[in-house]
Structure formats: C-alpha cells, structure tokens
Amino acid sequence: MILVDSSVWIDYFKGTVTAQTEILDGLLGQQPLAIGDLILTEVLQVVVQQVIPALGAACRNYGIDTWISIRSRSTSACE
C-alpha cells in the first residue's frame, strides 16, 4: 500500500501534470493507495474551493447546464 501526499492529489485533481501525478494516474485502480485523514481534509478543501468552481465555469463555457452551485463557504459544487 502506498501513502499519497496531499500535494500529489491536489495537483492530480487540478490537472497539473508532474512526474508524481503521472505515477499516481498509473497506480489508480492497479495498486492499493492510502490517504490519511489530514491528507483527505487538505484535498477536499482544495477540491471544494478551486476544482469544482473551475469545473462549473468550464461547463458553462460549453453551454452545459449544471445542477450544483457553490457560494463562498458552501459545500455544493458548480453553478
């Protein structure tokens, strides 16, 4: 089992290509991966604050209606 650091998960979900995210991509579904509670908290915070709003914006750019909205500290996703 491999413990993956929050920085690698964050880069992966942001779509940042690094040597580490490439390795993670190859391991997903192939190797058991571990994530600690603090790592999960850090990753989820970034996903809610940065990744989901960016996804919502991309959806809107392509004329795709989405059903989730995010407002400052809300845990919803995209408009």
Backbone angles phi, psi at 61, to 5 degrees: -60, -30
CA distances from 13 to 23, 51, 63 (A): 14, 7, 23
Assess whether pLDDT exceeds 70 at residue 79. Answer: no
pLDDT, greater one: 74 or 6: 6
What DSSP string describes 14-36? HT---HHHHHHHHHTTTS-EE--
pLDDT tens digits, one per residue of 13-54: 888 999 999 999 999 999 999 999 999 989 888 877 777 777
| Entry pTM | 0.65
Place 58 in a pLDDT band, splitting at 50, 70 and 90: confident
Give the CB-side neighbour count of residue 39, counting CA atoms within 13 A: 12
Residue 44 has a pLDDT of 84
